[in-house]
Amino acid sequence: MKFSPDSKNIVSASRDGTVRLWNLAGKELSTFKGHEQPVTSVAFSPDGKVIASGGYDHKVRLWKITGEKLQTFVGHQGVVTSVVFSPDGQTIASGSNDGTVRFWNLSGRQVKTPLKGDKDGVTSVVFSPDGKLIAYANWDATVILWDLVKDKQIGILSHDDIGILSSLAFSPDGHIIASASGDGTVRLWTIEGEPVAKYITGKRESDYLASNNSVTFSPNAKLIVAAVGDEVLLRPVENLDELLARGCRWLNDYLATHPKERGQVCPSK
């Protein structure tokens, strides 16, 4: 379930194979029919005019918010677990339990070689706010960070407990990544892959229930909100600059031998 960019409507995915658009009063505005099996993921385009959906039928579908079907993207060989628009609205990334992340333009053509994840599947995909990075979570509880400009992996994050990673989020400034796991934890990382915070909800979920976990930042980046099982975690992130500074201190040895990267990662004040 996702809010529209203007926060006036909600789009929901359903096990009955439909995608539905609602207003905040609970009135159904549109029903999108086309998936042959349960729908697992939905996303609004940045302008709120288009909806993407993916599901058990291995397909990604594109819709106008009025309900008109625009495109069907075929290429995945497994359940589509995550769909997301790039910040400019011109590219859709989709993750699947076929172990790939695929990139599509609005006409349904794949525009980049698929990225490979864990053989058991990719569970969540998210673009950085500037669209230059993508992060994707794997069934093996790792997160891959990929630089789309340089077309290379720049980091890997790993949960030390066993639990499906069902949700990822970038902070609004793009410097921090949050992950929610079925092991009952929410973690914050720098984009260089250094852990900077860990929150424990105490709620460990089965793989099925963990697939509904979710995490996001408030627009001002001062709060992190996570739904883990039947618990909602609300925690202040009072100073992301301090989190970054801590990560930079851990990176001192690396940056000493890679001085050109210090300006990009940990600029001097």
pLDDT digits (tens, 9 = 90+) for 250-263: 666 666 776 666 55
| CATH number assigned to the domain covering 2-241 | 2.130.10.10
pLDDT at position 213 over 70: no
Residue ranges per domain, the chain?
Answer: 2-241
Q: Left if phi > 0, otherwise alpha if psi is -120 to 50, otherwise beta: which for 72?
A: beta
| pLDDT tens figures, 12-62 | 888 899 999 998 888 999 899 999 999 989 999 999 999 999 999 999 999
| pLDDT tens figures, 101-124 | 999 999 999 999 999 988 889 999
DSSP state of 131: S
Question: Does the CA dihedral 129-167-136-267 come out positive or negative?
Answer: positive
Return the pLDDT at 79. Answer: 94
